Structure 1
């Protein structure tokens, strides 16, 4: 039926074109036509006439050309069906990972319109469409290593942990390195990311023991996002609150000195942080760094290499990398930074989750205060308590799976409604998406049952159980 309609429309328009002046023949072949006029008929009968015809279809005379375009959307390293924990964890996140569809609707739909329309696709072609959607919406599932990292934080000071960074020293120092680039002006939950970060930092610093020290460094807060200001912005990394005990008035004044504006010099800021802590050697100081960023390095630095050098320095800091609503490429880089530093990475989406991360450092500081008072901390160091909430790993997994499914559902519905793909293909993609979501939910249930069994185990007992369960060689120290 579609073929017949295409032939009739083509014949009708051909008769109109022959009656037009010579100038009409010089118009572009596949551009948007103003004033709501019908677009010119595509040359391939595979593509139906539609006002939403994708630019990717322009000039395509063959099915083979369209398949080649479709192949460019399929991201390498993403299995068609993720079934094991390893499949989910090792798959690279999509371009819009960690983002809700509605927050990037315009950009997402511009990408969707580039998908070619292919009539009656075979199974191989359908798989390409699905992999293309994964390249946009596949989420970053939490790594089991994160469970171990969280348990190490919860078991800070325990003799079970041989890593000296997790043992209490004479002084407790926390430096927060905060992204003040332009993208931190984006709103999350009614506040900008910067507003949320400032409030979380203020609350965290206020909760620290009086003997603990805190510092705040910001970067990307000068210049603008314009190319002409790149040099200025990329050289902007400032210690606005030097390492010292919490002082409410001073910190408030420091937090008022900057707003989100420019580029993202992560590597340079890590280098400066090493200088900030250079007089605090790790053998006498528990040094902790929180790097909070919502994107990748944009100043041509190498944050992965710098993080490695920082970890190997005499200050031996424990580095926590926090991705604040980061997209797929940003997550990959920030994970690499954390890995190079022997630290931990976590993705957060709002102020509450950021506060939860800072609360880990607050709890460690409280233990450190007890340790300094010669109080016995065997009770909280030898066993994992329910308060560590390690089963939240499974809850996060379930939430991520739901967001991935919702984003793909909206994309498939949009593509079908806008004639970007045939209705039959939309139905097949929806079925594949639903099957994948069911697998992800079952995996979350399995993880929850397993993680619940770890409560009240010692740190080493829990790590051994995790390694055995996931059949991986995770280092325990």
Structure 2
């Protein structure tokens, strides 16, 4: 009996132990399964995050698609297209704008982007982010600032005459204008870029003194950048953009409009270059310098101004310091003094205009001689339509070249099966609509500029006519 009970108890223990082990094994299997599942989910999440990070998705999603030219001016250039030269990007390219130089990079970025999204709007933003034009800001600004070559002449008034000695007609001789186009001229005064203010003032001055006298325009600081790597280029680039001759409105305005502020300030080299170019000339020669800063290229402008003036007693160097600091003003004063000329300080646009009109423009009697040529000039100035159209075309061609890159990118996605055909068609439609909108906005701005120029032309013509009447009355009273 006892043996029987013992065997029964052993059997029960065996069964219980087996059940316990089975439960333990099952539990271990469940834990292991949970770990595997968790690791799979974790790896998938990590891969998605890595893909998202690599595709610049968050940045791309935050982009606002430009709808106006003002929007375009503020839009950063594409990461892969930012180094395309301005002249190339805004030129009429026959055939597709080749992206072979960065084709592999483009494809890689498109693969990364389409791996995390197939949203057409987002992918279009990606095209802007990687391949957008780098030239809208500059081309739109050039058209916006274009004044149609309409430089209002500085017209001295009878009230400016203070003594009878001023009745003697005097000639300014040859006028050599040196225009500072260093990077500091990109700063603003009165809400406008100093470079644009200075170009307008120089144009007005040339339109007045250049009627009966030969004028020349040199520019310096317009090459390279303000970076150290470009110092040699910038400091050695002095260019005569308008050769010595009488004032020709269209030719002079074209020369001025193309000037862009960029680099260093080789004032000494500019004076030296002007001296060398005029070495064979006799008679009165005056350098008229508009600058907003001191020498930054290591030259000695005081020495060069003295050397220029010492050529003969009819040479001098006149300088207007436009919105300069005290240190720069001190140097420019010394340059003018060494050049037997006069230094004038101008803190804003009005002071710049008043300084030129009161100090640089010849006497009222000298200007009176040329009032007929002034009238003739302003009566035929409306031949600048082609210049304005050429500036507008820069925007147009930039849009075409940008569209060409987008189209090639779509072709890459198609050949690599990155998107469905339906979505590729939708993307192509977005590209077409975007480019067509830019053209419409360009045409709006071109129309506005045309209306502004007509209005300004009429205002200047009327002002010159009124001045001419005053001069006739003054002449009769003499």
TM over 0.5, shorter chain: no
Q: TM-score, normalised by structure 1?
A: 0.41
Rg (Cα) greater in structure: 2
Higher helix fraction: Structure 1 or Structure 2?
Answer: 2
Q: TM-score, normalised by structure 2?
A: 0.41
